[in-house]
């Protein structure tokens, strides 16, 4: 758990499920991408996932993965943080905030 979210890793796929800490609502899923062959699996140690909230509101999520010998790092930007970032950079047609 970090900040407003709970991060849970699936044992066989090493996919990370993201849940809202307050409501338990499923927010999303983090899976390995083409950078690591789009494959992952077997997160089988007692604490395979750690997450850290950055000052920007973004989260860094680290997952131990045994099947292919990787340590995966994901960047998760909550929907509210993404909207706040967009609002900070919104300008009108004249280029004024």
pLDDT digits (tens, 9 = 90+) for 21-54: 989 999 999 988 888 777 777 777 777 889 999 9
Give domain status of residue 51, yes or no.
yes
Give domain status of residue 78, yes or no.
yes
Number of domains in the chain: 1
Q: Residue 83: what pLDDT?
A: 44
Give domain status of residue 95, yes or no.
no
Give domain status of residue 93, yes or no.
no
pLDDT digits (tens, 9 = 90+) for 7-19: 998 888 888 999 9
Q: Residue 81: what pLDDT?
A: 54
Q: Is 42 exposed, middle or buried (0-12, 13-18, 19+ CB in 10 A)?
A: middle
Domain that holds residue 72: 5-88
What is the pTM (predicted TM-score) of this model?
A: 0.73
Give domain status of residue 94, yes or no.
no
For the cut 80, the answer to whether the pLDDT of residue 88 exceeds it is: no
Give domain status of residue 97, yes or no.
no
């Amino acid at each position: 758990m970090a900040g407003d979210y709970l991060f849970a890793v699936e044992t066989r796929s090493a996919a990370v499920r993201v849940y809202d800490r307050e409501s338990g609502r499923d927010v999303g899923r983090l899976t390995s991408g083409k950078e690591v062959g789009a494959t992952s699996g077997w997160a089988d140690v007692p604490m395979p996932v750690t997450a850290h909230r950055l000052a920007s509101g973004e989260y860094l999520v680290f997952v131990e993965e045994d099947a292919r010998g990787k340590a995966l790092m994901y960047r998760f930007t909550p929907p509210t943080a993404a909207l706040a970032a967009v609002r900070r950079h919104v300008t009108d047609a004249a280029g004024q905030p």
